[in-house]
Structure 1
Amino acid sequence: MSGEEILRLDDIHVVHKARTGKLFRRDRVHAVAGVSLSVRRGETIGVVGESGCGKSTLARVMVGLQEPTAGTVAFRGTELGKRDGALRTAYGKAVSVVFQDPSTALNARMSIRDILLDPLNVHAIGTKAQREARVVELLQLVGLPASAAEVLPGQVSGGQRQRVAIARALALEPDLIVADEPTSALDVSVRAQILNLLADLKERLDLGMVFISHDIQTVRYVSDRLIVMFAGRIVEEGDADTVLADPRDAYTRTLLGAAPGLLAG
C-alpha cells in the first residue's frame, strides 16, 4: 500500500560517553538531539550533513542497531518495546540496511550464495529449494548473473559487491531500506549505476528508502524529501527540489556551495 507509514521517530536523542573528561565523570556527546521524522512506502528521504553530524547514528537507530537515549521509535504505528519479541522480529524483517563499504559488510569467507541464503535460513523462510530459487531471483534483481553465486566477494568488483549487499538487504522482502553512504566507497564510474539501481528497485518494489550521504548533490539525485543535519539536529527539511532551489538555512547553503557536482569524488 503506497504511502503507508513504515517508521516514525519522535524526539530521538542519542548521547554517548566520550573518552575525555574525568575518570568517573566522562564528557558526553549528544550525537542525535531531538530528531523526529517518518518514512512511508514509495518515498526516498535523503539525509545529508558533514561527517560527525549524527546521520549514521540516526541510521543505526532506524535499523535497530542503536537504542536511543530518549525518544520513541514506532513501527507501523506501534511503539517498539524491548519485550515485544514478535514485533521486533517483524521490524527486523521489514527494515533493512545497506552499509557504506561492502568489503567489510560482507563475509569474505562465504560464497555469495551463502551470503544471500543466510538471512533466509535465520528466519526459516520457505523450503531449501525455495531459498535457492530466491538467491537466483535476488541476483537478477540487482543485475548480476546466476553464476555470481559461486564466487567469493573478493573475486568481484566493488560495484558488484555493493550489488550483493543490496541483494542481501532485499532478501526478506523489506518495506524500507536504509542506505548509509552506499556509494562513497565506490569508484566514480560506478556510483551512478548503484544510484540508478536503488532508484529502480524503490519504484519496482514500492520501497521506502532513507539515503544518507555527506554529498548533497548525490542525495539530490535520488531523494523526494530532504533532511539536512548539523550537530545532531535537523536544521532544514522539506521537498528536495524546494529545499535545494531555495535553501533557508545557512548550513544548507554552505553544503550546496561546497558541492563540486553530481557524483563527483
Structure 2
Amino acid sequence: MSEAIPAETDAQSLISDPDTPIIELKNVEVTFKARTGSLFRPNHVHAVQGVDMKIMPGKVLGIVGESGCGKSTTANVMCGLQVATKGQVFFMGKDVTKRSAAHRRHIGSVVSVVFQDPATALNPRMTVQDQLADPLRVHKIGTEETRDKRVRELLGLVGLPLSALNALPGQLSGGQRQRVAIARALSLHPKAIIADEPTSALDVSVRAQILNLLSDLKKELGLAMVFISHDIQTVRYISDRIAVMNAGKVVEEGDADTLLNHPSDPYTRKLLGAAPSLLHPQLD
C-alpha cells in the first residue's frame, strides 16, 4: 500500500518529478443517497463511476460534459471537498484517499480552486487586499510587509490596477471579480489550479479575456490546471488533454487535438456537433 504523506512534510517540496501526477484518481466512485425510496432502503445516485484521471505538472486537463455528468463531483474529490465512496486518490504518488486535516492543509497549498461564480466565492465584506492576504495569514506565511508585497504582485499577475486594493467585490465587474478569485488562488504559489466553470457566469468578451489570462498564467508560472466546462469549444481552447464525461463515467480521454479532430465516442461527436464556435473570434 502507498505510504501516506507525513504531517510534517512540506507539500511544495514534493513537486519534483515531472512524470508523477500531482493528483491521480484510480477507479473512483461517488454515490449519494437520493431523497426517493424508503427510510431503510433509500435509492442511490451514482454521480461518479470508475473514474481514472491524472493532473500532470504543467499540463491542462479539460473535463467536459453536460450538467449532472459528474465533472464537478470529480473535481471535488481531487481537491478534497468530496470523499470518494470507492477507489483511491493519490497526491504526488502518496495515497491520500482518507486524508487528514494536516494532509488537506498541505495539499491546499499546492492545489487551489477557482469556482464558477466569483460573487459567491468572495467575501462581500472584505476588501480585495484582505481577500488576497487571507490565505497567507491562514497558512502563517510571511510578515504583514511581505504579504502586502505579495498582494501587489498578484494584482499585477491578473491585470488589475493597484486602485482595486481597497474595493469591495460589489464594486467590481464580473470579470474583475473573477480576476480577484484567480489572484487569490495563486496566492500560495500553487502548482495546480482546479477551475470549475470559471467563465460560464461571464459574457463572451469577458470570457475570452479570462481564458487568455489563464492560458498566460499557465505558460508564465508552469501551472497545471483542471478546466471544467459544459462548453467543449471553451475546453478546446485551453486544454492539452480532454476527458469527456457522461452519466458519471469518462467515455473518452486523450490528447486535445486528436480527440476533437477524431472523436471515437458518439457522445463526444454529439457535443461537438451541438456547440457553435462562438468563442474563437474573441480569442484572436
TM-score normalised by L of structure 2: 0.90
Equivalence for 1:122 = 138
Whichever residue aligns with residue 243 of structure 1, its letter is: L
TM-score normalised by L of structure 1: 0.96
Whichever residue aligns with residue 228 of structure 1, its letter is: V
* 1:201 correspondence with 2:223: no
Equivalence for 2:264 = 248
Q: Distance in 1 between matches of 2:113 and 2:174?
A: 18
Residues 4, 207 of structure 1: CA spacing in aligned structure 2 closer, same or farther, 3 A cutoff?
farther
Q: Distance in 2 between matches of 1:61 and 1:88?
A: 12
* 1:29 correspondence with 2:31: no
Structure 1 residue matching 2:109: 3-state secondary structure: helix
Q: Distance in 2 between matches of 1:238 and 1:119?
A: 35
**Number of residue pairs matched by the alignment:** 264
Contact between 1:218 and 1:262, CA under 8 Å: does it hold in 2?
Answer: no
Query: Which one of the candidate residues 251, 257, 262 is aligned to 2:273?
Result: 257
Equivalence for 2:70 = 54
Q: Distance in 1 between matches of 2:106 and 2:83?
A: 17
Structure 2 residue matching 1:252: 3-state secondary structure: helix
Equivalence for 1:97 = 113
Structure 2 residue matching 1:53: 3-state secondary structure: coil
Contact between 2:56 and 2:224, CA under 8 Å: does it hold in 1?
Answer: yes
User: What is the CA-CA distance between 1:260 and the residue it aligns to?
Assistant: 1.3
Structure 2 residue matching 1:219: 3-state secondary structure: helix
Query: Between the two proteins, what is the percent identity of the paired residues?
Result: 64
Equivalence for 2:36 = 20
Equivalence for 1:69 = 85
Gaps of 5+ in 2: 1-15
Structure 2 residue matching 1:65: 3-state secondary structure: coil
Q: Distance in 2 between matches of 1:259 and 1:84?
A: 41
Whichever residue aligns with residue 256 of structure 1, its letter is: L
Query: Which one of the candidate residues 171, 177, 180 is aligned to 1:155?
Result: 171
Equivalence for 2:199 = 183
Gaps of 5+ in 1: none
Contact between 1:80 and 1:88, CA under 8 Å: does it hold in 2?
Answer: no
| Pairwise CA RMSD | 1.3
Whichever residue aligns with residue 149 of structure 1, its letter is: L
Contact between 2:62 and 2:227, CA under 8 Å: does it hold in 1?
Answer: yes
Q: Distance in 2 between matches of 1:8 and 1:83?
A: 14
User: What is the CA-CA distance between 1:3 and the residue it aligns to?
Assistant: 4.9
Whichever residue aligns with residue 62 of structure 1, its letter is: M
Query: Which one of the candidate residues 217, 222, 236 is aligned to 1:220?
Result: 236
Contact between 1:35 and 1:234, CA under 8 Å: does it hold in 2?
Answer: yes
User: What is the CA-CA distance between 1:85 and the residue it aligns to?
Assistant: 4.5
